[in-house]
């Protein structure tokens, strides 16, 4: 029996694919010459010329002489994305702060608004109102409105419709945040977990930029993770991947808010760091970071005070590495402030404990470089994904 013919690819589809690939390259990699674009994308120069000319005519890119010339002769022009030509709205709903930013193609933050929030008293309706207010103000200031919205929340969020199943530190449960924002803004909205998006940002613009397989672990009020596999953010069923903080490591340990006992975040999260540093229970994150950084100059004291946290961190990471086999673990949030000697000790312990790490010999543990901006920039990348494929 003859098999049905395979459908061919139409020229228009090929052009759209190549155009999106070129825009994506400029968005992530920055300005580039036509010759370099042809080499990186595997396209001939005439195709690149047609694509760049079309994007320039549409006002999406421009070409300019590089500020630094190499060698004699006529310099190659750089193709530069026009940041205000494609703008998205990035929203970071934190436990104590709400930030809304207009982000242009290329990752430039063009403007932002922030509000201090009272922990545990953040209403979804207030978030929607403030995002709408910020959208109007930023559009008026920039003369360019957003085309899509990406939102980071500290909880489990369903990618298909932005349903926030649970955000315990906000006291949210079953909130249709995506629908609320879509109706208020009349823009496409995508919602993601803050640690997932922090990992996406570090992969796109930070410590994991040239890494195909990485695990991002962030500790703030809670502990969460993001997983990059084969260069793509791993999402899983419903988008609920990365709840590493609720991996049970100590069954007889402390009670966790999730209802289990001995979750990893009870041993390496915000409260655990306060205990290790002998800080009062109401010490804020700035105080924790300051204390951690003060220990950088005294490796012996740092090792003594943080031994328990470091041991539990290494134990959990060894489990994660055995399952996910990353080449890089990125420590975000409060963990990014751990003294370098402590991070080096954790890396050595994970290599020793993990069969996968011993076999590969490639595992690295490194602090995040984007800091508190990670979830915000990750939210922008979430919004850019469909936009760059469509403009």
Residue 23 clears pLDDT 90, i.e. is over it = yes
Distance between start and end Cα atoms, the chain: 43
User: Rounded to whole angstroms, how far apart are CA atoms 382 and 199?
Assistant: 12
Q: Is 187 exposed, middle or buried (0-12, 13-18, 19+ CB in 10 A)?
A: middle
Q: Tell me how far CA of residue 219 lies from CA of 73, 109, 255, 349, in angstroms.
A: 52, 24, 17, 19
Q: What is the pLDDT of residues 68-95, one digit of tens each?
A: 665 555 678 899 999 999 999 999 999 8
Residues ≥6 apart with Cβ < 8 Å to 183: none
Closest listed residue to residue 159, CA positions, set 235, 243, 94: 235
- Pairing state of beta strands 78-81 and 32-33? antiparallel
- Pairing state of beta strands 87-93 and 97-104? antiparallel
What does 205-248 look like in DSSP terms, one character per residue?
HSTTTT-SSEEEEEESSSEEEEEEETTEE---GGG----GGGSB
Cα radius of gyration (the chain)? 23
The two structure tokens encoding residue 97: 């702060």
* Domains in the chain: ranges and CATH: 12-65+76-81 (1.10.10.10), 87-196+374-390 (3.30.420.40), 209-369 (3.30.420.40)
- Pairing state of beta strands 61-64 and 78-81? antiparallel
Q: What is the pLDDT of residues 293-330, one digit of tens each?
A: 999 999 999 999 999 999 999 999 999 999 999 999 99
Residue 9 clears pLDDT 80, i.e. is over it = no
State the pTM of this model: 0.90
Q: Tell me how far CA of residue 54 lies from CA of 16, 40, 51, 76, 176, in angstroms.
A: 11, 19, 5, 19, 39
Q: What percent of the chain has pLDDT over 70?
A: 95
């Amino acid at each position: 029996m003859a098999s049905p013919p395979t459908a061919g690819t139409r020229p228009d589809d090929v052009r759209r694919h190549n155009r999106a690939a070129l825009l994506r390259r400029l968005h992530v990699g920055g300005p580039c010459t036509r010759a370099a674009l042809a080499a990186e994308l595997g396209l001939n120069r005439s195709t690149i010329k047609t694509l760049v000319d079309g994007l320039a005519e549409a006002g999406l890119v421009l070409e300019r002489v590089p500020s630094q010339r190499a060698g004699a002769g006529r310099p190659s022009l750089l193709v530069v994305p026009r940041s205000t030509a494609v703008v998205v709205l990035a929203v970071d709903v934190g436990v104590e702060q709400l930030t809304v930013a207009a982000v242009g193609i290329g990752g430039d933050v063009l403007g932002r608004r922030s509000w201090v929030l009272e922990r545990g008293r953040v209403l979804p309706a207030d978030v929607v109102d403030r995002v709408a207010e910020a959208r109007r103000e930023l559009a008026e200031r920039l003369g360019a409105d957003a085309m899509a919205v990406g939102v980071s929340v500290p909880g489990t969020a369903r990618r298909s419709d932005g349903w926030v199943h649970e955000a315990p530190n906000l006291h949210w449960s079953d909130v249709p945040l995506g629908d609320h924002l879509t109706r208020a803004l009349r823009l496409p909205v995508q919602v993601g977990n803050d640690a997932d998006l922090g990992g996406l940002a570090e992969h796109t613009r930070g410590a994991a930029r040239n890494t195909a397989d990485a695990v991002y672990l962030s500790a703030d009020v809670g502990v969460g993770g993001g997983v990059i596999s084969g260069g793509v953010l791993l999402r899983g069923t419903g988008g609920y991947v990365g709840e590493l903080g609720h991996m049970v490591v100590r069954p007889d340990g402390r009670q966790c808010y999730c209802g289990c006992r001995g979750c990893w975040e009870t041993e390496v999260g915000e409260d655990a760091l306060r205990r290790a540093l002998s800080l009062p229970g109401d010490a804020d994150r700035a105080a924790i970071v300051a204390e951690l950084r003060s220990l950088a100059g005294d490796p012996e004291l740092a090792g003594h005070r943080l031994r328990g946290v470091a041991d539990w961190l290494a134990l959990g990471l060894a489990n994660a590495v055995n399952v996910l086999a990353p080449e890089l673990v990125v420590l975000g949030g409060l963990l990014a402030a751990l003294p370098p000697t402590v991070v080096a000790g954790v890396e050595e312990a994970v290599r020793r404990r993990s069969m996968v790490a011993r076999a590969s010999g490639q595992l690295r543990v490194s602090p995040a470089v984007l800091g508190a901006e990670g979830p915000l920039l990750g939210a922008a990348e979430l919004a850019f994904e469909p936009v760059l494929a469509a403009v």
